[in-house]
Amino acid sequence: MIELIRTNDPVVISFVESLLRDAGIAFFVADQNMSIMEGSLGILPRRIMIDEDDRAAARQLLKDADIDHEVRFDDENNA
């Protein structure tokens, strides 16, 4: 799996989850339960992970929703 986004914003996480679910793209929210450790302060970012084969479709989905600025574009994970 590759990281699609990393954010502290629960609204963005929820919106992206909804977009991916509606598009039939499998995803996993990593670090979701870390809020227990941090006391729900929102300090630790959550990551949405997707299968590498879904990278192009997920990026296009976020671009169409005008939130593609949230996508991680690093050469190691998401070239």
Look up the CATH number of the domain holding residue 37: 3.30.70.790
Q: Given this model, what pLDDT does residue 42 score?
A: 62
Range of the domain at 28: 2-70
Evaluate whether residue 9 is within a structural domain.
yes
Evaluate whether residue 75 is within a structural domain.
no
Q: Confidence class of residue 35 from pLDDT cuts 50, 70 and 90?
A: low
Evaluate whether residue 58 is within a structural domain.
yes
Q: What are all long-range contacts of 53-58, with beta carbons under 8 Å and residues at least 24 apart?
A: 54/25, 54/26, 55/2, 55/4, 57/23, 57/25, 58/4, 58/20, 58/23, 58/25, 58/27
Half-sphere exposure of 23 (CA within 13 A, CB side): 21
Evaluate whether residue 78 is within a structural domain.
no
Rounded mean pLDDT, 3-24: 92
pLDDT at 62 over 60: yes
Rounded mean pLDDT, 6-28: 93
Evaluate whether residue 79 is within a structural domain.
no
How many domains does one find in the chain? 1
Q: Given this model, what pLDDT does residue 75 score?
A: 43
Do residues 3 and 79 lie in contact, with contact meaning Cβ atoms separated by under 8 Å? no
Evaluate whether residue 49 is within a structural domain.
yes
pTM score:
0.78
Tell me 39's DSSP state.
Answer: T
